[in-house]
Amino acid sequence: MSERGHLTKREREALIAGAGAASGGMTGGEADDLPLLAETLADPSVWAQPSVALEYVVLRAVMSAKPAAFAPVTSIGPVQPAARRRGAPRHWRALSAAAAAVAVIAITAGITMTRRHEQPDFESRLAATALAPGAGASADIYRAKGGFRVELEARGLPHLADGQYYEAWLKNPAGTTVPIGTFSSGDGSSGDGSSGGGRVTLWSGVSPKEFSSLSISIEATDNDQRPSGRRVLVGDTRPA
Amino acid sequence: MYATSSRRSPPGSISMEASTLQAFRDRDAAAVRAMYREYGKLVYAVAHRFLGRHDLAEDAVQQTFVRAWQSAHRIDVDRDPAPWLATIAKHVAIDIYRREARRPTTALTDVMTRDRTDVNVSPEALDAVWHVRRAIDELPIDEATVVRLQHIDGLTQREISDQLGVALGTIKSRSHRAHRKLAGLLGHLRERTHE
């Protein structure tokens, strides 16, 4: 190998082969792989590094995704009633309504009983900014398997135009901002342009203890992953 | 939080424990993080090899994990998830390539000339990228640095010694140790990482 000057492909192969021989020599199959290994080691893609923030971006995207059996993020606003089906016999409708009512009561009671025993680990009260003077929100934050579940109750958020959405963030004192989820303004827009409010579930991979500043901002569906700075709600987390 | 294992793995590879894969299958958020930390850089390297651009490769990583999450019920917890993820990554990369090709403001030629999109990259080249990246990530940083300077920058050991301010003998030792480990890939480089 030359002491000066750029290495040739043959010299780079010799580096590998020499080391391989030192550990017992090469078989025919190993020798066949030698040029491919040297070529791949010289491929910049093998050495390219994703940004540190990509982990958060991926987690956020996954948590916001909606597979058929799992939808962790709900949109704020009341659910629109389904269109009434025509032609169903009246007594079947009555029976269905009764069964649905029983189911709703049972589920609500179950949720209430479950939630009653679940105390949040952190809480936050969010105040409106000038961008949404009529808005307000509170958040209960629970330790969960693999992170923190943030139950956000918001009211009075402006109804957003197409291509916009709300995004929640946690920030630490050093200024590092971590996205914890996105949601839409839903269809609960009232006459003054604000939504009816509602509950949304978000997920955080960082602790609200260190990342103690919670905010909600308006974002656009572009490729810019950074906060827009258009914050509508701001607050601090504290142990519950 | 979740463990990795070297079972059912070629040299230099990392595999996840079945319990972690089961947690991913059960859509546990922590398992997503574990999966990303184990395979995120590998998926990125393959996507980068295919698309040739950092931003598109990161987009591909994001979409790959979302698709994996959405079809988590299909994961076989008793098998290395690498082939499954690599297959998703390749399909995602193809979709992104086609999307970029359709953009009026980002012509296909633009995508291809900014760096080097290569839709005809061979399966064995993708397998090699996957295996080599995995092996590089397992090298100590000082050894990986020497290997990168040799193979990417084409520097001799003397030049690396001068550049890093480290004794030539130390550079030679690091280079030899690293290449001995990398030589362990020989004979396994073409093993399939995609289905």
> Is pLDDT of B18 > 50?
yes
**C-beta separation of A51 from B152 below 8 A:** no
Q: What is residue A172's predicted lDDT score, i.e. its pLDDT?
A: 86
Q: Least CB-CB distance to B40: which of A23, A38, A58?
A: A58
> Is pLDDT of A137 > 80?
yes
**B183, A17: Cβ pair inside 8 Å?**
yes
**pLDDT-wise least confident of A52-66, A176-190, B19-33, B143-157:** A176-190
**A48, B70: Cβ pair inside 8 Å?**
no
Q: What is residue A95's predicted lDDT score, i.e. its pLDDT?
A: 52
**C-beta separation of B16 from B38 below 8 A:** yes
3-state secondary structure of A178: strand
Residue A223, both tokens: 């490729």
Q: What is residue A79's predicted lDDT score, i.e. its pLDDT?
A: 33
CA B175 from chain centre, in angstroms, equals: 22
Confidence of residue A98 (pLDDT cuts 50, 70, 90): low
Q: Is the pTM of this model over 0.80?
A: no
**A46, B179: Cβ pair inside 8 Å?**
no
* Residues in chain B within 8 Å Cβ distance of A17: 183
Report the percentage of chain B scoring pLDDT > 70: 81
- In degrees to the nearest 10, what's the CA dihedral of B17, A64, A59, A114? -60
> Is pLDDT of B111 > 60?
no
Average pLDDT of the residues of chain A: 72
* Residues in chain B within 8 Å Cβ distance of A3: 156-158
Which pLDDT tens digit goes with each residue over B126-165? 888 888 998 998 889 999 999 999 998 889 999 999 989 9
CA atoms of A151 and A147, how far apart (whole Å): 13
Q: Check residues A90 and B129 and name the one with the higher pLDDT.
A: B129
Question: What interface predicted TM-score (ipTM) does this complex get?
Answer: 0.81
Q: A128 phi and psi, to 5 degrees?
A: -75, 150
CA atoms of A25 and A18, how far apart (whole Å): 9
Which pLDDT tens digit goes with each residue over A11-34? 888 888 887 665 556 676 677 778
Q: What is residue B195's predicted lDDT score, i.e. its pLDDT?
A: 52
Q: What is residue A142's predicted lDDT score, i.e. its pLDDT?
A: 86
- In degrees to the nearest 10, what's the CA dihedral of A103, A104, A107, A113? -130
Q: Least CB-CB distance to B150: which of A15, A48, A57?
A: A15
**C-beta separation of A206 from A227 below 8 A:** no
CA atoms of A95 and A73, how far apart (whole Å): 32
Averaged pLDDT, B161-186: 91
Averaged pLDDT, A39-51: 89
Average pLDDT of the residues of chain B: 81
> Is pLDDT of B27 > 50?
yes
**Which burial class, exposed, middle or buried, applies to B113 when counting CB atoms under 10 A from its CB (0-12, 13-18, 19+)?**
exposed
CA distances from B27 to A69, A199, B32, B61, B68 (A): 10, 22, 8, 18, 10
Averaged pLDDT, A161-184: 83
Averaged pLDDT, B169-194: 83
Q: Check residues B44 and A74 and name the one with the higher pLDDT.
A: B44
A222 vs B: CB within 8 A: no
Q: What is residue A97's predicted lDDT score, i.e. its pLDDT?
A: 54
> Is pLDDT of A4 > 90?
no
**B132, A12: Cβ pair inside 8 Å?**
no
A71 vs B: CB within 8 A: no
**C-beta separation of B35 from B68 below 8 A:** yes
> Is pLDDT of A146 > 50?
yes
**A67, B70: Cβ pair inside 8 Å?**
yes
Confidence of residue A228 (pLDDT cuts 50, 70, 90): confident
CA atoms of A43 and B52, how far apart (whole Å): 11
Averaged pLDDT, A156-173: 83
From the CA of B78, how many Å to the nearest CA of chain A?
22
Confidence of residue A1 (pLDDT cuts 50, 70, 90): very low
Q: How far apart are the first and last CA of chain B?
A: 29
Highest mean pLDDT among A82-96, B108-122, B169-183: B169-183
A30 vs B: CB within 8 A: yes
Q: Check residues B42 and A192 and name the one with the higher pLDDT.
A: B42
Q: What is residue A150's predicted lDDT score, i.e. its pLDDT?
A: 87
Q: What is residue A115's predicted lDDT score, i.e. its pLDDT?
A: 46
Q: What is the DSSP track for A100-144?
A: HHHHHHHHHHHHHHHHHT---SEEEEEEE-TTSTT-EEEEEEEEE
> Is pLDDT of B79 > 60?
yes
* Residues in chain B within 8 Å Cβ distance of A31: 186
Secondary structure, 3-state, chain B: CCCEECCCCCCCCCEECHHHHHHHHCCCHHHHHHHHHHHHHHHHHHHHHHHCCHHHHHHHHHHHHHHHHHCHHHCCCCCCCHHHHHHHHHHHHHHHHHHHHHCCCCCHHHHHHHCCCCCCCCHHHHHHHHHHHHHHHHCCHHHHHHHHHHHCCCCCHHHHHHHHCCCHHHHHHHHHHHHHHHHCCCCCCCCCCCC
Confidence of residue B3 (pLDDT cuts 50, 70, 90): very low
* Residues in chain A within 8 Å Cβ distance of B32: 58-59, 62-63, 146
Q: Check residues B33 and A198 and name the one with the higher pLDDT.
A: B33
Averaged pLDDT, A201-227: 84
**A15, B175: Cβ pair inside 8 Å?**
yes
> Is pLDDT of A73 > 50?
no
**pLDDT-wise least confident of A73-87, B23-37, B137-151, B180-194:** A73-87
3-state secondary structure of A177: strand
Q: Which residue has the tokens 């791949």?
A: A40
CA atoms of B7 and B16, how far apart (whole Å): 9
**C-beta separation of A166 from A160 below 8 A:** yes
CA atoms of A191 and A178, how far apart (whole Å): 34
Q: A105 phi and psi, to 5 degrees?
A: -60, -45
**In angstroms, how far apart are the furthest CA atoms of chain B?**
55
> Is pLDDT of B94 > 70?
yes
Closest by CA position to B157, among listed A127, B166, A174: B166
